[in-house]
A and B are shown apart, each in its own frame.
Chain A
């Protein structure tokens, strides 16, 4: 089955700086890679996703890049703000809609 690894597990950055979180996956058949933001005690919220036919996608301060050959994808957050502090999960799909999640990254933005 699919195996998704995520690094780092914790990340602290100064407000205004950029944050980068990286994930690797094992199943070459995976073709959908979403990123979720989860605040304490709440449901995961989709913040951006990318499909295997695209190498990069950007939405304001958030971008995701995908390298299918190397089987890795990354989340980039620029101009970080305190409200970006949360736990971020990457995921990869297997067999259609089934998602396998990474282990999560706790991002802390230091004011």
Chain B
């Protein structure tokens, strides 16, 4: 099946710094990728839809200036958490589908656990 890889798998940073998380589709091209956030013992909440070559679409309540998304190629999307604060500590997961197939099936990255001190 299709493989999606995320990096880093975990990161610890100081409050006020920025952190970049990468999401790569290893064996397929993804015109669209999705970024989710998952707090402990909660469900996956969609943050934004990353579109290759254009601006990301953010869900209601998600600050686009705080969570910068760049989808510069068909295999790479990045999420940058700017001026991170302890409340941003969470598990961030990306996903991508097989472009053009219309199957609806999504493939998830391993997730990135962010801890902000």
Contacts and interface: CB of A to CB of B under 8 A. Distances in A.
A103 B43 contact: yes
Contact of A32 (B42, B44, B104, B110): B104
Interface residues of B, number: 22
A32 B44 CA distance: 17
Contacts, number: 53
Interface of A: 31-32, 34, 41-46, 49, 51, 89, 93, 96-104
26 contacts: A32-B105, A34-B104, A41-B111, A42-B111, A43-B93, A43-B108, A43-B111, A44-B93, A45-B108, A49-B104, A89-B43, A89-B44, A93-B104, A97-B97, A98-B34, A98-B46, A98-B49, A99-B34, A99-B46, A101-B43, A101-B44, A101-B45, A101-B46, A102-B43, A103-B42, A104-B42
